[in-house]
Amino acid sequence: MTDTLTPVLTDNWGDDRAWTLAAYAARGGYRALDKAFAMAPDAVIEEVKESGLRGRGGAGFPTGMKWGFIPQDNPKPKYLVVNADESEPGTCKDIPLMMASPHTLVEGVIISSYAIRANKAFIYIRGEVLHVVRRVQRAVAEAYAAGHLGTDIHGSGFDLDVVVHAGAGAYICGEETALLEGLEGRRGQPRLRPPFPAVAGLYASPTVINNVESIASVPSIIEHGHGWFGSMGTEKSKGFGIFSLSGHVQRPGQYEAPLGITLRTLIDLAGGVREGHELKFWTPGGSSTPLLTAEHLDVPLDFEGVGAAGSMLGTRALQIFDDTTCVVRATLRWTEFYKHESCGKCTPCREGTWWLVQTLSALEKGQGSEADLDLLLDQCDNILGRSFCALADGAVSPIQSSIQYFRDEYLAHLSNGGCPFDPAAATLFAPEGATA
Amino acid sequence: MLDDKTYGELREIAARYPEPRSGLLPMLHLVQSVEGRVTPEGIEACAEILDISAADVSGVATFYTMYKRRPVGDYHVGVCTNTLCAVMGGDLIFERLKGHLDVGNDETTEDGKITLEHVECNAACDYAPVMMVNWEFMDNMTPESAVQLVDDLRAGAEVTSTRGPRVVTWREAERVLAGFPDDLADAGPAAGPASLVGLGIARDRGWSAPHPESDAGDSSTAGSKTEAVEQADTSRAETETKQEEGKE
């Protein structure tokens, strides 16, 4: 049995000046790099494949397999692009990682680029996190100065340049092909696949796009081996991951644990749900993953377990809402978000999210009838699976799941002539004893 | 008009990339740092340098929410009103600030100091309700602390991010996003308190990832792993004990 929490990526976050090269090197940082250089690139890919690491950006695609898809006989340059556009509502793990230990990411970038034989890598960070951009800029500059980046790194003959690129505000750019469009200086609109980025990505060249946490996990896998990594987690969801608890828990924050931990354990570690209240609903992996309820407290938080419960592990963004929260209000706000962030390329998403907001906001005000719930679900059916990317699919998740679990609460808005909840009671600064 | 230095820096950005057009997003950040918004002149300059049409540049500039067509105040104040922050108090904070500053969403105060905008999830949910000032984190806000914050900004008092440095002006921030770093990377903590909660619990309870030296890939070695950890702890305890004794 592994321990309940297994800090690896978060292990150095409390160190003095953890973001500096000196602090990172003092813990053995950049040691995995030499170990990787002593291996053939294909052996590095094999090691990551063997580890069972699956993408930590939400989709859970096996990282090593993604790397293996890069056609090495393609004469074009290969690129590594790090998706640091963390924007999924509830998701807040990559930002603290890059703030506290940007060198973990940079070392991962170098090893990963070596494996796929890329000599140019990009770190695409959302623009709205200035200090994180600063820390990553500094880490890259330090890595150049120390000879970890540039030409003939550590005498290996391998060259790598890294560009830190700040985005400009667009949730859609977290979608990998929209991110590539943004990185090419265009509007961030997803591309039709195939061709997949592995074959024709950035500048129509073979490109690997990985999430920050995926890439940051690579140095530890190379240093300690796939067996060590696989000793954590479950059969098909191996390793550790950062679980982000937010909302109505006593101690919200980052908890790094083997995949498969349950929300019951995590909430227990977090000191329980807010005093005097009960868990009502939660997202396992951001707002695009269908809501779950208290009946799912013992679901193993791995890809298979959450899938079997009718949702998705996503980014392990556990947003906790207690009994003071109106699920209709929560769902409407998320829906307004998706409408705002729809890039406009596909009609079902562009028009559909607009209609969802219309129908939902009427219901939230207590207008309309029960038949509007069916209308809403019908709209969802006409949106789900009908667009280029997953944004529209994510948009229907909170609606379908909230109606599934809380149909009566929607109806209560109608019979009540509006929302029966007091929004002040749900706030962090609610007066003692406030009730819904 | 943009000066030669700015033209030079715009070209410098484009030159970072295998294909110059990739520089467009950071170039527009630089335009904002110089002009205080995306101006027609800035659009023309980007178009000229990248050899694309001004319409192409405009199409990009209007797509991304960080690019502003109207002048932005010295301080862009964002209030997260995505679901979790809204529920935790973001909605009340935003309402209070609109009233206190007498502006609507995406509007600037008459003194030109503050532009107020509600923002989407900024990846700091464990610090909800969250505000941003020129894209620096202001964590765990209340309506009262939010009012104090904007009053301090308007009064010219030095304001420090809860997880970062003193807040710079919006134009200075845009320059960093364009890829021209300032010297503030070392300011602020490595992590805020919420980021360290799980780590703290693990330390308290002696939890860690499996010991790398043991062959952790095989579940039958779980016992030897425990032994290894115990041995490590024992030897460290002995060393520390000896050091303590040496002091006396």
Q: For residues B114 and A279, what is the distance between their CA atoms, to the nearest angstrom?
A: 38
Give A218-230 pLDDT, tens digit per residue: 999 999 999 999 9
Contact residues on chain B for A341, CB-CB shorter than 8 A: 120
Chain A nearest CA to B211, separation (Å): 8
Q: Of B123, B177, B181, which is closest to A91 when you measure between CB atoms?
A: B123
Q: What is the CA radius of gyration of chain B?
A: 25
Give A165-211 pLDDT, tens digit per residue: 999 999 999 999 999 999 999 999 999 999 999 999 999 999 999 99
Is the bond into A195 cis (omega within 30 degrees of 0)?
Answer: yes
Confidence of residue A1 (pLDDT cuts 50, 70, 90): confident
Provide the 8-state DSSP code for B221. G
Q: For residues B181 and B173, what is the distance between their CA atoms, to the nearest angstrom?
A: 9
CA atoms within 13 A on the CB side of A395: 37
Give B207-229 pLDDT, tens digit per residue: 999 988 654 444 433 334 444 44
Asked if B195 lies within 8 A of A101 by C-beta distance, the reply is: no
Handedness of CA A6, A8, A10, A15 (dihedral sign): positive
Q: What is the mean pLDDT of chain B?
A: 89
Give A370-404 pLDDT, tens digit per residue: 999 999 999 999 999 999 999 999 999 999 999 99
Domain ranges of chain B: 4-61, 75-177, 214-241
Asked if A134 lies within 8 A of B197 by C-beta distance, the reply is: no
CA-closest candidate to residue A255, choices A1, A8, A53, A19: A8
Spatial contact of A24 and A31, defined as CB atoms under 8 Å apart: no
B118: phi then psi, degrees, rounded to nearest 5:
-85, 140
Give A130-172 pLDDT, tens digit per residue: 999 999 999 999 999 999 999 999 999 999 999 999 999 999 9
CATH fold of the domain at B4-61: Arc Repressor Mutant, subunit A (1.10.10)
Confidence of residue A269 (pLDDT cuts 50, 70, 90): very high
Mutate to test the interface with B, among A231, A323, A338, A419 (most CBs of B within 10 A): A231
Q: Provide the pLDDT for residue B213.
A: 67
Give A207-265 pLDDT, tens digit per residue: 999 999 999 999 999 999 999 999 999 999 999 999 999 999 999 999 999 999 999 99
Contact residues on chain A for B65, CB-CB shorter than 8 A: 168-170
**Domains in chain A with CATH codes:** 21-230 (3.40.50.11540), 240-320 (3.10.20.600), 327-425 (1.20.1440.230)
- What does each C-alpha distance from A124 to A168, A250, A420, B92, B186 come to in angstroms? 10, 33, 43, 33, 21
Q: What is the side-by-side order of every strand in the sheet holding A120-125?
A: A161-166, A120-125, A79-84, A207-211
What region does B214 belong to: left with phi over 0, alpha with psi -120 to 50, or beta?
Answer: beta
Contact residues on chain B for A261, CB-CB shorter than 8 A: none
Q: Of A2, A100, A168, which is closest to B64 when you measure between CB atoms?
A: A168
Q: For residues A329 and A35, what is the distance between their CA atoms, to the nearest angstrom?
A: 52
The pair of three-digit structure tokens given for residue A424, joined into one six-digit string: 């002040």
Confidence of residue A431 (pLDDT cuts 50, 70, 90): low
Helix (H) or strand (E) holding B207: none
Chain B nearest CA to A316, separation (Å): 12
pLDDT of B40 over the 90 cut: yes
Q: For residues A239 and A62, what is the distance between their CA atoms, to the nearest angstrom?
A: 12
pLDDT of B38 over the 90 cut: yes
Q: Provide the pLDDT for residue B247.
A: 38
Q: Provide the pLDDT for residue A147.
A: 98
Q: What angle do CA A243, A135, B157 make, to 5 degrees?
A: 100
Asked if A128 lies within 8 A of B66 by C-beta distance, the reply is: yes
Asked if B196 lies within 8 A of A254 by C-beta distance, the reply is: yes
Spatial contact of A95 and A153, defined as CB atoms under 8 Å apart: no
Asked if A92 lies within 8 A of B136 by C-beta distance, the reply is: no
Chain A nearest CA to B224, separation (Å): 12
Q: For residues B40 and B15, what is the distance between their CA atoms, to the nearest angstrom?
A: 23
Spatial contact of A343 and A189, defined as CB atoms under 8 Å apart: yes
Asked if B197 lies within 8 A of A317 by C-beta distance, the reply is: no
Chain A nearest CA to B102, separation (Å): 22
**Which residues are bridge partners to A320 per DSSP?**
A247, A282
Asked if B209 lies within 8 A of A232 by C-beta distance, the reply is: yes
Q: Which one is the CATH code of B75-177: 3.40.30.10, 3.40.1790.10, 3.40.50.1370, 3.30.565.10?
A: 3.40.30.10
Helix (H) or strand (E) holding A145: helix A130-145
A75: phi then psi, degrees, rounded to nearest 5:
-75, -10
